[in-house]
Structure 1
């Protein structure tokens, strides 16, 4: 291929041209919709629909680069970026920057990538606490970009409420039971190492440490040495993820158990039926569709309860934006970064430890006016500052200033 066909001026237009690598991840739809509303030229390239061999992958990428001529490539959680470095080599050849927005713990993802394309990659992370650690890995361009909401997609679909969804208190979330076991299976530890990992996970859940790896190295050096000896990086990351997910399971189970006196409705995977098999006074509902069901579900709960994954001890999750966007009231665990996004007590109500949950639930169940006031204020803040249009504008500006 001639050199002139692999290089072209970048960032010359009023808005950039973005090649979106799609992979069926929920956030891609929000980013595409934001591009449309903002008038940003973009091309969706779906790499998740089928398996590709090397030659086909290279051909697909080169055709997209040459025909669309993007200013940069955007992905979520590095999806679409192969671990062998083929895409990175193509990006380098075409002089294309890569922007990757991490909405899950980047340290549980990036460790398996051999070529990290440091100089021409902009990393965006939903968790401010990971900015310094990503910079320490060698990435020169790291930005904090919180999650948000898409009010155009989070709209009700039903004229008549679904009565079984109505609840005084509800929780929507994964039990993490199956996810934990799958990561443990992928790591393949010995039985003693597995049991030690379970013990360490309980301690990690109680700690303020942000990342399981450094915590294990400091507090459980024998466990750390055991999985660090795995020859494959995939197995090492799987073990750290197993510890993180088990810590989340224990934390969520503790928090949700505090709701039992209020007869909560729990929506999620069947793991909840196993974890709460001997507990009376709660209702179970299978998982609901994010787009088709949850916008109708959230307003039917007097209190939507939230307890965040242990992969993000400082950041807030998607539900913090979605529930108020859907006109619902949210009670969530306090995270350090929440105060940069919402005003406590006026726009968001938080518990700082699980012991506070019952009193806060009882208080707000008995004060519908306060619930409405907080929900209305939170929705106003979301629409003013926390939509995916806001996030896309910030991302585009950062990429342009960095590589333009």
Structure 2
């Protein structure tokens, strides 16, 4: 463990969902039934037994009948489809429908390519109850159908609020749900609290492995909820490392050691948190320039350079207009994010450390983030979406590049209205 970051202690047709605030206190032996080894795949009978056993342990986790799911989704109508990904399709149940008390829920239907493990990994959520984690309400297994039911988050995901809103503002001048500075800080704090719970307070040492803006949902009050636990794994201790031959996750948010060697630990999530915090502050994406030997991404590198030049306050998303935040506060949050996004996992703080560091009043108490390793000169440019935000002119410059012919490339520069 890195000595610079000392350990910081942390203090039926009708279904009735109850125990919403109850914490499911399940023994570790029971948790082991869900914390499967990657190589082990349960058959349907074993999975059904797991569902029933989990329901016995957690009173808030209930079985839904298949006809209820079919009625609620209008037989899985495209009109109820609100998203796809991760071997599943998500459906939204309307406020007045077939499910209990008109509860608004999201229904996750696993597709034919999903393994039973993809399904059972999500069962970790049945045991976890925290204000910054999505709540898993129940399950349904019917023939080949494997379905999970969650709370529905009305404000959508973080990716939309940070990125899609910006695109709408650029292209058609519509007013989006702009995240002001206080909301952004609240999201960063909420994510940190949720990860502390996963890594330490749940006593299961859970590593999410796929933290990204699309997997952060927002409730009515814009509080963040970590979701999509299909890739989550439990560890034997809070300092354990495991290796996998099947690396999951999204480029730009995956830790370097996980991307290159398949090694994951709690510090894997810490890296992803650091990148997301920088993205929330800046409104920028993090592009990995693979051909140039990049392991942390353009956003992390640019943020480190601003920190080194004493200009870290310039990282703030210009769409905020320069109001509503203190430069010292920006520098503290951004510097903590840089500490989290360091290449070597031993240089990263734990999430308990992060919460403590965010509460420091002076950045002079913070360690210095190490400089990212040099890029390979002359490497090919990355064929990915790149974003650059000019801080001085308040010009939003988006360049979309690909391996397609030059005629298909787009370059948009839009000056803000005066």
TM-score by length of 1: 0.25
Point out the structure with the larger helix share: 1
Higher relative CO (CA 8 A, sep ≥ 6), structure 1 or 2? 1
